[in-house]
Chain A
Amino acid sequence: MLSCKQVATIASDYLDKSTPLKWQIRLHLLMCANCRRFVRHMKITRELSKQMVLNKTADDVDTIWNKVQQRIKQDSQSD
């Protein structure tokens, strides 16, 4: 049977459905309350992350666009 350390090491793969050890993990989870909690917490963390919004850039689109245009001009002059 898998150890708790092994389950903790591959918990992401289990949640991402990318481990061939799915049934061994399930068997372990049936018997181990700590690992059930650990995997549940990881699942919550993953769900929370899905809804996170990255910090937006301080520059507005016009400023960025103008800088890009300037660089394109510079590049074409140096070509």
Chain B
Amino acid sequence: MGTPTSTASTADTAADTIAQLRSRMARMHDGVPGRALETHPALAGLVQLRAGSSYAVDSASLALALMAGPSATGSWCAVVGVGDFGAEAASALGIDLDRTVLVPEPGDQWIEVTAALVDVVTLVVVRPPGRVPEQVAGKLAARLRKRSVALVAQEATPGDWPRCEVRLTTREPAWTGVGRGDGHLRSRRLLVEAQRGTAPPRRGALWFPAEDQTYCRAEPAVAPARVVEEAS
């Protein structure tokens, strides 16, 4: 009786140790040991939002998706310099509009405004008017770490925001449901690439949105040969 129990407990402790070591490695790998923020389930596996880091995206819907995680759990979010915020799309992604602050036209003072909002909210989405100097990004990064706030920079051209933890890019958008003068836009399949430093990028296909207007991972096409292997 005693032997199997002790074996199980030993296995448990071993599993715990491995999990602990893995999480420590993950933290070292991420660089910043920031608190993990809620991330939209569609982006799970591609990117994990952490307080104190900055992220760069190249499309408005990805910026909204990153904002959706913290916003849905009741955190305040701010959007600076985005004059074309799509409130309906944001609401469909699960963003709580009552806890969203927009500053559509901060003009020359966008850095000061962003810094002021970093003091009070959990996540700031910013669309910089052009290339951001390394020095400014560094100062803001220090402030983000101090206040434990995440920043999502929506870039017009890649590389506008230096020093970001992860850069998300969209590739091969494919809309379905629309023909030549018939139907309407229904669903879109996107390939999202998450580039972290010099590591090889992680890729994932997403339905953004799917046919039923939800936002989810597109299941990767399962190779039939592998299924057979597992079965046998």
**Does B bind A?**
no
